């Protein structure tokens, strides 16, 4: 068995602007994704998905395009369309973690409601 060739010397070694270093950091991040959701967490996500179906069915016909969610990472509100919300929850089920934070895209805030509002609206609609 021959020993592997020596590692090439990284010319950017120690350079804070090294672009490869950033890629390596991203790779390290994605390794964390292997941790599965707990059964309880999965249950919660599945419930959220079910809620989302009802919210969209009731609210989309009234012109609501999605939900506004307070971001845990930057503490700013983010606006998500129905499709993106669903995709994010499915991703959470598959990957065991939230998607990387996505910046807002200049939505029309009046087209979106909070999760609490959607739930309140849904509860009232189903009662009535």
Interacting residues toward Zn ion by CB under 5 A: 71, 73-74, 101
**What DSSP element (H or E) covers 67?**
strand 66-70
Q: Taking the complex as a whole, how short is the minimal distance between the CB of residue 97 and Zn ion, in angstroms?
A: 15
Left, alpha or beta for 30 (phi > 0: left; psi -120 to 50: alpha)?
A: alpha
Q: Taking the complex as a whole, how short is the minimal distance between the CB of residue 63 and Zn ion, in angstroms?
A: 25
60 or 74: CB nearest Zn ion = 74
Residue number with the smallest Cβ distance to Zn ion: 71
The Cα 80–Cα 123 span in angstroms is 21
Q: Taking the complex as a whole, how short is the minimal distance between the CB of residue 19 and Zn ion, in angstroms?
A: 24
Contact 89, 51 (CB under 8 A): no
57 or 98: CB nearest Zn ion = 98
């Amino acid at each position: 068995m021959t020993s592997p060739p020596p590692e090439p010397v990284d010319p950017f070694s120690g350079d804070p602007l090294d672009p490869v270093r950033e890629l390596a950091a991203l790779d390290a991040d994605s390794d964390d994704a292997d941790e599965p959701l707990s059964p309880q967490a999965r249950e919660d996500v599945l419930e959220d998905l079910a809620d989302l179906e009802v919210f969209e069915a009731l609210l989309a016909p009234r012109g609501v395009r999605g939900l506004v969610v307070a971001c845990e990472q930057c503490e700013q509100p983010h606006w998500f369309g129905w499709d993106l919300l669903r995709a994010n929850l499915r991703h959470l089920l598959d990957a065991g973690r939230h998607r990387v934070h996505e910046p807002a895209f200049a939505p029309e805030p009046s087209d979106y409601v909070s999760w609490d509002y959607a739930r309140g609206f849904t509860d009232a609609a189903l009662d009535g």
